[in-house]
Structure formats: structure tokens, C-alpha cells
Amino acid sequence: MPELILNGEYKSKLGLRETERAIKYIKDFFQDNLASALNLQRVSAPLFLKKGSGINDDLNGVEAKATFRIKDDGNREAECLFSLAKWKRMVLADYGFEEGEGLYTDMNAIRPDEECLDNLHSIYVDQWDWERIVRAEERNLEFLKEIVRRIYGVLRQTEAAVDARYPEIPPMLPDDITFVHSEDLLGMYPDFGPREREDRICERYGAVFVIGIGGELADGTMHDSRAPDYDDWITATWGGRRGLNGDILLWYPLLKRAFEISSMGIRVDGESMLKQLRLRNGLERKELAWHKRLLAGELPLSIGGGIGQSRLCMFFLRKLHIGEVQASVWPDEMVADCRGAGVMLL
């Protein structure tokens, strides 16, 4: 049975029907303001892709995808999404987006290899996937920070809107988000693992962006792994530090832990992708159609990421379990334990 945190004193701020209304309110408000802050247009996205295109993401490169066969296409295999990082960049090119413009979409994924179904993790993933074209001179750390600050500003706007609508849920985000590199985080807490480091820095500052995820740290470990062909985690930034990507983390008192809201970053160019593929022994991927387009200069330079929809609603509505804001499948024992503790899963 996965680890499950049940607080005997927990009581949802909202009933089931009001929770459903609040979920819609939060999603509508956040996506409209995100689109305004980053100059994004909503587009339609697929639920699945044909296998072998190289477009579907590999996340950490080891997770199995949910697959099925299409009868009227010669029983060709299709696979459910993991995320849309590569697909979005392709669409930016094919739809004729310009520099400074971008897109966002609803991404729904199934991740059957999720190892720890708990308060925060589900096999069903729903997020806003967004992507925006950047100029070559914007592929730097300061531009990354500026985009993070804009997103954080929308988070604070949304929290204020929830407070106005539901006074029983007061704001708790700090005024500003703190930036820290994963290498410095290792230096600050050398005796702890990556998750514990995140917990400590988030408890201290309330909202943190951890920079540089996917590359090797000074002690030979990684803060977390990333696929080699979407985020740029190899390019040097400052003081020997590497990485133009990171995670937005918030402190969540109900669970007494860091709460990841978004994984994002400046995407690889041809040079950095080849370096990262080589490091991960994945150079064969450069023969896939999407990778050939990138190397041929047919795809724009971009920045992008995913922002968890259920995570966001869970945070702003102060829910104890992500199943209170999304309909998914859970172990029978977990369902029974939650019901016994007054945690009503959708």
C-alpha cells in the first residue's frame, strides 16, 4: 500500500458540489490570466499519438506507455500521451506562430507506471501544457526567471480570486518566488536527498524555483532526471552551474512538504540536444522525424512547460488528496481509508 497521509482533524472547506464549481472557477481564471501574461493562444491537442513518431515524451526514459491498436490503420499501435513538450514545438512551427507568441492546451495523460499513488500522485495527469517562441538571445537564465515570475504572478492572482470568492480559504503564498540552483541546494543540505532538500527550502521560503534539473551534480547524482530531448539541462549559465530549466515548488502545510506545481524550461537547440542524447546513450533518436526537423532548423527556439491542473486546484482549495479534485482510479484500500477519514474522492 502506498504511503498515504490522513489527518484526523482534516475537513474539506467545501462540499462536493461546491468543490466542482470551484474547480471550474479556478481553471477558467488561471488559464485566461496565464494566456494574457505569456501571450498564449489556446489550441486543441491530441489524447494519443502514433507510436514511433518521436513526438511523445519519454519523461525519465523508463516509464511504460499505455498503448492500443487502431483496427482501421492496419492494427498500427498508438500510445497515450505522457506530455506534449515536443508536439507543442512542432505546432508552433506548423501553425505559423511568431517570436513572442505561444500556445497553451489541455493535456490529459495516463501514466500506468506511477510507482507511488498517494496524496499527490495519480495515474491520470491533467495539466496546461504551454509553449512560446523565443529569440536566440533570450535563451538565458534571466529570461527564464522572468517567465517564472510571470507565472508566479498569475498564481498569486488566482489565490486572491479564490480568497474573494471563498473567504474561508485565506491566501498563503509569499509575495515573491525564490530562485535556487540544484547544485547550491545540494551544498545547503548535503546530508539529505533531493526530495528532503526541496521540503526544507520550500518550508523556509514558501515558493521556490529549483534551477538545473536533469544534469549531473558535483557529487555525481542528479537532483531528478529529465529526458534529453526537450529541456536544456546541459547549457552553462553562471559560476559553472548548468541548466536552463527547473520546477516551481510551493510549501503545502497540510502535507508538510514541497508541492510541485510546474516543470518547465528553455528547450534544447540542435547542439544541446545532441550533447544530451550523447550523455544518455540515445543518439539513435536523431533519426526520428521530430528530431530531424529540429536538427534541420525547422522548429523554433522555445520555452515551455506544464502546470498541473489538479495540483493547482488541490492547492488553492486546501484539499488533502488529489482525488478530491480529479476523478481517477485508486487502490481499494486507499479508497476505504480515505472514506473512513472523511476524505471524499471524486
> Is residue 249 a contact partner of residue 258, using CB atoms and an 8 Å limit?
yes
pLDDT of residue 115: 64
pLDDT of residue 235: 93
Helix (H) or strand (E) holding 125: strand 124-133
- Cα diameter, the chain: 58
User: What residues does 108 pair with on adjacent strands?
Assistant: 126
- Residues 6 or more apart whose CB falls under 8 angstroms from that of 340 comprise none
Domain boundaries, the chain: 16-170+263-340
Per-residue pLDDT tens, the chain, 346 aa: give them: 457 788 778 888 999 999 999 999 999 999 999 999 999 999 998 888 777 666 766 555 556 677 778 777 778 887 877 778 889 999 999 999 999 999 999 998 887 766 678 888 888 889 999 999 999 999 999 999 999 999 999 999 999 999 999 999 999 999 999 999 999 999 999 999 999 999 999 999 999 999 999 998 888 898 988 889 989 999 988 777 999 999 999 999 999 999 999 999 999 999 999 999 999 999 998 998 889 999 999 999 999 999 999 999 999 999 999 999 998 888 888 888 888 888 888 8
| Catalytically active residues, by annotation | 57, 111, 127, 247, 260, 263
pLDDT of residue 181: 95
Q: What are phi and psi of 48, to 5 degrees?
A: -155, 165
Indicate yes or no: pTM above 0.85.
yes
pLDDT of residue 317: 96
pLDDT tens-digit series, residues 280-325: 999 998 998 889 999 999 999 999 999 999 999 999 999 999 999 9
pLDDT of residue 238: 77
> Is residue 83 a contact partner of residue 263, using CB atoms and an 8 Å limit?
no
Helix (H) or strand (E) holding 338: helix 332-340
pLDDT of residue 53: 65
pLDDT of residue 179: 97
Query: The domain at 16-170+263-340 falls in which architecture?
Result: 2-Layer Sandwich (3.30)
Angle at 324 between CA 122 and CA 124, to 5 degrees: 25
Of 159, 7, 28, give the one whose Cα is nearest residue 106. Answer: 28
pLDDT of residue 1: 43
